[in-house]
A and B are shown apart, each in its own frame.
Chain A
């Protein structure tokens, strides 16, 4: 093992040239901006569109309106009903995805070069001219309601919901963006149209494209697809204040394995110490089988199938979260070990060897992400939302390597707060308060 490592120490991995060297910043004639990587070897294009705000823009008492609206975008548009729209898309063999989270509304598309104009014209209908007809509204509402009911019996979802509601209360982050049975039942067509006006606007738009398309053609495409959207939407919500203190919350649920979500506050993406924190987390619980948490909780003690920690820098707050699942009679021990590891890392930091391993892993793994048009478009649209420049891809590994042992251990002291850790445990755990 050591022999192998020694030969690798100074290595910085090469980046895939086709992704790193040639991101073009395109501005359409109508003023819409996008990032583009031209990749003409396969005759299709992957397009990723983001609107900042997402489900957090639900109006008061209208929780679930943005989620339901997004579910309806492809269920009837222009003069097509739901099935006519789907048949048109199938005939073009285009793929459209519509998704929403707390911070972001996402549209993903793949379309063939041979019928690009028709595919874009169709996608446009779903973005600018969805009909939100009452038959579709009721049909999709029933699907959402079914999902909400299922979530109420799903231990992972119960844990997520309990953690968020205690952490963020009335802020949108404090509730499930699917809405509640009551709130979704009460949503009207007007509420859905309002959610559409609030979220799909050009003042919060980010676009990336990778594939068989030129910059000029992309400019034309952007105006055609997005030019008719309103200039501005609803204001973004205030920052979310984290209100949870250290401790344990048990949610009683009759199931053999307790599901645990834990965490405390985190660090912003633009903090100068973000990379040090990121490297720290790889050592603690973010890596694969090699993290300290995996080693102590799974490999040494067999208490779980998986234990992870992750930095979650969101638009309106920052969290440091983790998850584990362990049989009801063993979960207390798993929690104890996690607490110990958290304390140990806070007090004693990580070793030089751990830092080096994490850096080698991170710098080596980075180019592996650029493995297709779709994944690259995803990365590029995410970079824009984070305010990163196009040359970030070329400099990112340097930033990882620039992290010193001093940095990591200073950040560990500051960021890891064992007494602030709150554990939400869903199940019938033994030996917990």
Chain B
């Protein structure tokens, strides 16, 4: 089927899992830096990543976007590297580098020939603590992140809608603030805002090194000790405690209208528990619930709202369990031409109520588990994805053991577990229902 354009950002991702065959080694340097090595010797290539346990949700109030701003600024100079020299050196060695920031982490990576690993470690460890910035860097790069916000958010009605809706979902937790930042705060970010964040969070005892590819764990350990191991731990690293959500006791509703909306839709999110270290069962049930409800042609929402009744052109369910604090379970329902948002919202509620009543189809659950098994085989083909999975999990409060038992936790989920998780998560008091509408449309 053809995916409906413009609303793809919440597409379901098939859960990938850990493999018995994955060659993973992990250890901790004396200064507290965690290291994960994933071996894949099929090609002489390596992925070198450093993940900081610090993201936008760790920012102080009032400087939203500073985590992401600092990520950009890390490509400026250090004591020994001129501005831009980091990426230029990676490129001159035939590699590619970039970085990304999320709520719970900031990560930097290079993909490069495996024999260049030492050079990458030398440069990445250097900018962990030796960043040198001046006011000019700040002003030009602040314009760049404002243009980035323009491109990702201001130019997209759907992105503006998601931003408002997310802010309504969290009453107290900083997940309510967009990773890229609110525009009025971004435009005021200063050098000292960036340096404050840098000095607080960028330290080996707050970082995870993931090296994946054609490498030997012993050699990685020796290099890691040489370059990262010599950096002193930050004794003042703050404990990672964000303001938590109070009981949410009132369903929230919002409408967002914009002339640039061509295809209206309903988006509903529910506050949901995340994967916690040692306690992943409910998250596993929610992961499979999302697949049952929204995973393509055979999913419950598609079957009931596209095949049985032609009410929608597209439906999806999404649950992102890898998160430090409470996450969300999301539903997207795109009405067919001539069907109102109220009609599809009501129909969706009815389908979910019916699903909870009827229970899980055993064949569907078996097929999903078969695909999860196969995903373990397919996953071996992409060592970069394995590196990402470990980095993300470890930066989100999970352990290596949690990552490696996730697969069996998913396989152990029963139909009853899924219905219990559904009953628990689908509580309107903890939900936000958003309607995205064209500006001109009246009376929906």
Residue ranges of A at the interface with B (Cβ–Cβ < 8 Å): 1, 4-5, 8, 13-14, 16, 18-19, 39, 41-44, 46, 67-68, 71, 74-75, 82-83, 86-87, 90-93, 95, 110, 112, 138-140, 142-147, 149-155, 254-257, 259, 287-290, 295, 298-306, 325-327, 357, 360-368, 370-374
Contact B297 A151 (CB under 8 A): no
A374 to B382, CA, bound (A): 9
Residues on A with beta carbons closer than 8 Å to the beta carbon of B263: 146, 149-150
Contact of A368 among B88, B94, B260, B298 (CB under 8 A): B94
Residue among B260, B371, B378 with the highest chain A CB neighbour number at 10 A: B378
A164 to chain B, nearest CB (A): 17
Residues on A with beta carbons closer than 8 Å to the beta carbon of B142: 302
Contact of B94 among A13, A140, A302, A306 (CB under 8 A): A13
Chain B, residue nearest A67 (CB): B2
Contact A290 B84 (CB under 8 A): yes
> B128-153, CB under 8 A of A: which get 1 and which 0?
00000000000111111111101100
A145 to B366, CA, bound (A): 34
Given A13-B113, A302-B142: A364 in contact with B95 (beta carbons within 8 A): yes
Within 8 A of A (CB), among B192-224: none
Residue ranges of B at the interface with A (Cβ–Cβ < 8 Å): 1-7, 42-45, 75, 81-85, 87-89, 91-97, 111-113, 119, 139-148, 150-151, 154-155, 157, 259-263, 296-298, 303, 306-307, 310, 313-314, 334, 336-337, 363, 366-368, 370-371, 373-375, 377-378, 380-384
Residues on B with beta carbons closer than 8 Å to the beta carbon of A4: 89, 92, 119
Given A150-B6, A289-B84, A368-B94: A43 in contact with B377 (beta carbons within 8 A): yes
Apart from A150-B4, A254-B260: 12 A-B pairs, beta carbons within 8 A: A4-B89, A5-B89, A18-B42, A86-B297, A93-B374, A143-B313, A147-B5, A151-B5, A151-B6, A299-B140, A327-B146, A368-B112
Name 8 A/B residue pairs within 8 A (Cβ), A-sorted: A149-B262, A257-B154, A290-B87, A298-B144, A365-B95, A367-B113, A371-B382, A371-B384
A113 to B394, CA, bound (A): 33
Residues on A with beta carbons closer than 8 Å to the beta carbon of B154: 255-257
Contact B336 A142 (CB under 8 A): yes
Contact of A357 among B92, B296, B297, B307 (CB under 8 A): B92
Residues on B with beta carbons closer than 8 Å to the beta carbon of A86: 296-298
Residues on A with beta carbons closer than 8 Å to the beta carbon of B148: 305
A366 to B404, CA, bound (A): 33
A151 to B262, CA, bound (A): 8
Chain B, residue nearest A100 (CB): B2
Contact of A288 among B91, B368, B381 (CB under 8 A): B91
Chain B, residue nearest A139 (CB): B306
Contact A373 B262 (CB under 8 A): no
Chain A, residue nearest B260 (CB): A153
Contact of B43 among A256, A257, A371 (CB under 8 A): A371
Contact A287 B380 (CB under 8 A): no
A397 to chain B, nearest CB (A): 10
A133 to chain B, nearest CB (A): 12
Contact of A93 among B42, B313, B373, B383 (CB under 8 A): B373
B246 to chain A, nearest CB (A): 35
Contact of A290 among B5, B83, B88, B262 (CB under 8 A): B88
Chain B, residue nearest A362 (CB): B94
Residues on A with beta carbons closer than 8 Å to the beta carbon of B336: 142
A67 to B92, CA, bound (A): 41
Given A13-B113, A146-B4, A361-B91: A300 in contact with B155 (beta carbons within 8 A): no
A229 to B132, CA, bound (A): 63
Residues on B with beta carbons closer than 8 Å to the beta carbon of A95: 378
A152 to B263, CA, bound (A): 10
Contact A44 B377 (CB under 8 A): yes
Residues on B with beta carbons closer than 8 Å to the beta carbon of A142: 310, 313, 336-337
A326 to B154, CA, bound (A): 12
B220 to chain A, nearest CB (A): 19
Residues on A with beta carbons closer than 8 Å to the beta carbon of B94: 13, 360-368
Residues on A with beta carbons closer than 8 Å to the beta carbon of B145: 305
Considering the complex of A and B, which 8 residue pairs feature the smallest CB-CB distances, nearest first? A364-B94, A302-B143, A93-B374, A150-B6, A257-B150, A86-B297, A305-B148, A71-B2
A146 to B8, CA, bound (A): 13
Contact A154 B2 (CB under 8 A): no
Residues on A with beta carbons closer than 8 Å to the beta carbon of B91: 287-290, 357, 361
Contact of A289 among B44, B87, B157, B297 (CB under 8 A): B87
Contact A145 B140 (CB under 8 A): no
Residues on B with beta carbons closer than 8 Å to the beta carbon of A150: 4-7, 262-263
Contact A154 B5 (CB under 8 A): yes
A86 to B297, CA, bound (A): 7
Residues on A with beta carbons closer than 8 Å to the beta carbon of B375: 93
